[in-house]
């Protein structure tokens, strides 16, 4: 009887769970049995492994082959168990030295000809292997991604034949190296191309400076989507720790190409037909949704009321906690979701509420019904709400160009640096995450008195009061002020408004 073992991983969100692949070849009727609570993709590994070995000119021994994925009570999902099963089987057949596999974990999908295909989760698997003092065997195309884990031994093979040659000492493979961190933002649209809308531009700058949630309300053609598309050009680079968090989510989703990791904040803009599972996460394998793919970046929801109501309501908890929990009967999967929500909407279904010559015959009731699709708790989580009115064509043609994205991005970067210096390394990374007790000592008594009076008059919730202080702190940072003054608070309160129809500019 021959037994071989090889380490691998299962995934729970971006966390790795160690799995040991055990292969036993024992006397008995010829059989290839796979146990250990495998899903359909894992169960089909038997045929892929059998075909890959046939492509190498090998055949399974005419004995009882038992593959166990331990621990047996953990659900195993995904095709990445193909490679560790094949390698452990080759070790049990004494084709590959077992001691050569003792210090490695393995992930990879096998083609029928023995080629090793890419799989999701290589980066967290490499970090998990490094934490356990192991090297990693992975597909050749994903070697640069695994190399980001640091000084661990990486074997990135194109096929089983190349891997066997290395493990038996006939041909050594070159260790992969990670590519350079991408920091340069791709050229995008400039904010100077948006004519007029100075109030909305100001709100966009404040939102970028403090990572605040922003809601743009206006009729079709007012420039809501144009403004949102220019937000990425205002955002500074992520810190190395933030870039790693973002890359872990992208790796689990299988979105890292050629090992390229970017320091630019992600920008996700799903269509309003997206389901709750697509937006929040879930489905087969509890994959990350758009809110997790937008972690440390921006999630732009255009035509906000057109999204399914359950999907929008499911945003409420992640916006507050910065974490998305996908509950299943057997386990709870957690993904990070510390994001900046930017949304745009029309005031009503026809889009022309308040324009007597263009509004539909159901006004103003149509606007009330349309805006009622958004619940109060969701709107309470929007830090800034700004109404936008269309610019008359005559003024639009003569309007001068405004500030460029480069100039505004410089002010945003300076405001972000003030936040980091104020809160310290262990504090919140932005004003949008600052607790109330960290904000009140930074406000002048006149500013706090104005905020308290406005909270009573406007009926602000405790959450709304705190978010007003956060926005005021970002306004003060843009102005280079050490303390929140009354003008900063007054401006922040103007963005804490109910949904309303902006009037056309005359």
pLDDT of residue 215: 96
Query: pLDDT value at position 180?
Result: 86
DSSP label of 175: P
**Cβ–Cβ contacts within 10 Å for residue 41, how many?**
18
How many Å separate Cα 188 from the centre of its chain?
A: 21
Res 501: pLDDT: 44
Cα 429 to Cα 51, 242, 435: the distances in Å are: 51, 10, 12
Who contacts 201 (Cβ-Cβ below 8 Å, separation ≥6)?
A: 191, 194, 227, 402, 403, 408
Q: b or e along 205-230 (b: 16 or more beta carbons within 10 Å of the residue's beta carbon)?
A: bbbbbbbbbbbbbbbeebbbbbbbbb
Give residues with Cβ within 8 angstroms of 341, minimum separation 6: 213, 214, 298, 299, 301, 315, 319, 381, 382
Structure-token pair, residue 490:
């007054």
- 394 Cβ contact list (under 8 Å, min separation 6): none
Q: Per-residue confidence of the chain (506 residues) as pLDDT tens digits?
A: 679 999 999 999 999 999 999 999 999 999 999 999 999 999 999 999 999 999 999 999 999 999 999 999 899 999 999 999 999 999 999 999 999 999 999 999 999 999 999 999 999 999 999 999 999 999 999 999 999 998 899 999 999 999 999 999 999 999 999 988 888 666 788 998 888 888 999 999 999 999 999 999 988 888 899 999 999 999 999 998 899 999 999 999 999 988 889 999 999 999 999 999 999 998 877 889 999 999 999 999 999 999 999 999 999 999 999 999 988 766 789 999 999 999 999 888 776 676 666 667 667 777 788 888 899 999 999 999 999 888 887 777 777 778 899 999 999 999 999 999 999 878 898 999 999 999 999 999 999 999 999 999 988 999 999 999 999 999 999 999 999 999 999 999 999 876 644 444 43
* Cα–Cα distance measured from residue 91 to residue 88, given in angstroms and rounded to the nearest whole number: 5
Reported as half-sphere exposure (CB side, CA atoms, 13 A), residue 473 has a value of: 29
- pLDDT given at position 505: 40
What number of other Cβ atoms are within 10 A of residue 499's Cβ?
18
- Residues 396, 397, 399, 405, CA torsion sign: positive
């Amino acid at each position: 009887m021959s037994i071989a073992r090889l380490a691998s991983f299962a995934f729970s969100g971006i966390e790795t769970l160690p799995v040991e692949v055990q292969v036993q070849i024992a006397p008995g009727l010829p059989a290839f049995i796979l146990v250990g609570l495998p899903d359909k993709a894992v169960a089909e590994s038997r045929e892929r492994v059998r075909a890959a070995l046939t492509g190498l000119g090998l055949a399974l021994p005419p004995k009882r082959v038992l593959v166990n994925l331990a621990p047996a009570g953990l659900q195993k999902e995904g095709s990445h168990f193909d490679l560790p099963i094949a390698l452990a089987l080759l070790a049990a057949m004494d084709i590959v030295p077992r001691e050569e596999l003792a210090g490695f974990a393995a992930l990879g999908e096998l083609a029928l000809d023995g080629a090793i295909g890419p799989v999701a989760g290589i980066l967290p698997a490499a970090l998990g292997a490094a934490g356990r003092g192991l090297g990693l065997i992975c597909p050749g195309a994903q070697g640069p991604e695994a190399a980001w884990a640091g000084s661990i031994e990486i074997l990135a093979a194109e096929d089983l034949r190349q891997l066997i040659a290395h493990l038996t000492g006939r041909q050594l493979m070159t260790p992969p190296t990670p590519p350079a961190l991408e920091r340069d933002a791709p050229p995008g649209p400039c904010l100077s191309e948006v004519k007029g809308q100075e109030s909305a531009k100001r709100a966009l700058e404040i939102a970028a400076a403090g990572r605040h949630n922003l809601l743009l309300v206006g009729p079709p053609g007012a420039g809501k989507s144009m403004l949102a598309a220019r937000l990425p050009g205002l955002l500074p680079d992520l810190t190395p720790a933030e870039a790693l968090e973002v890359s872990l989510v992208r790796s689990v989703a299988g979105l890292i190409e050629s090992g390229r990791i970017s320091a630019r904040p992600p920008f996700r803009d799903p269509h309003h037909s997206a389901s709750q599972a697509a937006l929040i996460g879930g489905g087969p394998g509890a994959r990350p949704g758009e809110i997790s793919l937008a972690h440390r970046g921006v999630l732009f929801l255009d035509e906000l009321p057109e999204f399914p109501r359950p999907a929008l309501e499911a945003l409420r908890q992640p916006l507050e906690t910065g974490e998305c929990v996908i509950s299943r009967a057997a386990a709870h999967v957690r993904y990070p979701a510390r994001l900046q929500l930017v949304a745009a909407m029309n005031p009503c279904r026809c889009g022309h509420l308040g324009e007597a010559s263009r509004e539909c015959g159901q006004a103003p009731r149509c606007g009330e019904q349309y805006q009622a699709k958004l619940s109060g708790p969701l709107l309470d989580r929007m830090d800034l709400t700004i109404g936008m009115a269309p610019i008359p064509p005559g003024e639009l043609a003569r309007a001068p160009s405004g500030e460029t994205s480069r100039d505004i991005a410089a002010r945003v970067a300076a405001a972000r640096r003030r936040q980091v210096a104020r809160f310290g390394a262990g504090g919140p990374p932005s004003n949008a995450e600052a607790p109330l007790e960290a904000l009140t000592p930074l406000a002048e008594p006149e500013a706090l008195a104005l905020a308290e009076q406005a909270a009573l008059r406007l009926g602000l919730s405790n959450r709304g009061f705190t978010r007003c202080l956060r926005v005021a702190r970002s306004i003060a940072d843009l102005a280079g002020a050490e303390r929140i003054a009354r003008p900063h608070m007054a401006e922040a309160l103007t963005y804490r408004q109910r949904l309303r129809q902006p009037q056309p500019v005359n």
